Every structure is written in structure tokens, then in C-alpha cells.
Amino acid sequence: MQAQKLEARQHKRAQDSTLRAFHRYVHEQLQSERKDEILRRARARIGLWKQGQLCSDYYIRFWSQVVNSGDSEVFKQRVLQASERQALGMMQNTPFSFLMREVR
């Protein structure tokens, strides 16, 4: 039982690390010439969430504010530098998931 708990914690830490690395990649891309296209696609994803009521209004409001700011520093502060609990919660439901295939 103890070994299973340890394994589960290690697995969770690995997942969290992967999410953080992915969002560092997103931050880098938001500082590139791709920024406008990435933000457009993220807005479209958030629009789908709203239309289909696919996630909580909290996620929609949070990510709408981040994406609509259009600022990579806002992304950095609100996502990468947020408390671990908040950051990981937001990262699990990201409108930037379309970029995931680029980092695999």
C-alpha cells in the first residue's frame, strides 16, 4: 500500500513537471512572431468552452483574462509564477493544448 502511494505521488510530480515545462514552452511561443496566431487559437478554444459549457466559468474567466491581455508577462505572472496549487489547476485545463504536439 505504501509503495503504491509513493508511486502515485511520483507519477503526479512527473505530470506536474510536464505541465510546467509545457507552459514554459507556451510562454516562449508568446514571445515569438507566432503570438497573434496562438492567442487567436486560444480564444477560439475558450469560445468552444463557453458555447458547449465544457468547463467551469472560473476557468473561462481566468484564461480569458490571460489570453485577452495579449501579454506574455501577464501569462508568466498569472500562470508560471502563481501559487503551485493555482498554477497546476489552471494548467490542467489549458486553452493552449493545441501546442502540445509540438513538445512531444
Please state, in angstroms and rounded to a whole number, the distance separating the CA atoms of residues 60 and 46. Answer: 6
- What is residue 94's predicted lDDT score, i.e. its pLDDT? 95
- Residue spans of the domains in the chain: they are 2-102
Query: Distances from the Cα of 10 to the Cαs of 5, 48, 86, 102, in angstroms?
Result: 9, 33, 20, 25
pLDDT digits (tens, 9 = 90+) for 15-62: 888 999 999 999 999 999 999 999 999 999 999 999 998 899 999 999
pTM greater than 0.75: yes
- What is residue 104's predicted lDDT score, i.e. its pLDDT? 67
Joined grid coordinates for residue 88: 497546476
Query: Distances from the Cα of 61 to the Cαs of 46, 71, 96, in angstroms?
Result: 9, 16, 15
